[in-house]
Amino acid sequence: MKRAVLIVSLLRFIGLSTGQCRYRLCTFYVSRITQTNFRPDDIDTNLCPILIVGYATYVNEQIRPHEKFNQFLQTLRSLKQSNPQFKVILQLINWISSYDSAFDQMVNNHNSRYKFYDNVVNFLRANSFDGIEIRQRFEKQSRPLENKDWFIVVLQALANKFVDEGRSTKREKLLLLVPLTLVSDLATLEARESILGISSFIKECDIDIHDW
């Protein structure tokens, strides 16, 4: 029988080190069909204090979560009762970076970018998320070169938005994570992403390695 459950992506179970503190970060994806019976209430919030939940996309200038999200959100929120430091991060994926992508069109449009910042904050707060991870899937296709710089503009503005929103509402600042996808070699990654630009204001950044 087809069931929707959260499945763990073991490839993205990593340790993030900052000084003498160590954080474990896990990613869970909502799946329609699986033989795994792993539920949100099986999560040990002390073992994995940061949970990234995938995924959502950006369509028609709106954040659109996976259709099965609502089955798990309430349980994920309740996990914070066992560990107040437990963080739930929304993963937003731009599946194919191209001129036709709704996300890339937003990146290249001034008014759309500002609407995106508001949409992100409103969605995260309304659904009790503690932050967002913005992930871009390139596979083997090239990326519009101008988007490389505009993406940094978006990230910097969103990071500033989180700071300002946290101060004005006196709430904990939302988190911003940006993973990098290494498809073939470092030169290819550097051609697609402004690594120095991202690292200038993102505290931690994980790298996914694919052999496609």
For the domain made up of 5-209, give the CATH fold: TIM Barrel (3.20.20)
Asked whether the beta carbons of 154 and 114 are under 8 A apart, the reply is no
Q: Mean pLDDT over residues 68-81, rounded? A: 78
Q: Is the pLDDT of residue 123 over 60?
A: yes
CA atoms lying within 13 Å on the CB side of residue 50: 20
Q: Kindly report, residue by residue over 176-196, the tens digit of the pLDDT.
A: 988 766 555 555 555 555 566
Torsion region of 199: left, alpha or beta (phi above 0 gives left; psi -120 to 50 gives alpha):
alpha
Helix/strand/coil for 168? helix
**Annotated domain spans of the chain:** 5-209
Mean pLDDT score across all residues of the chain: 73
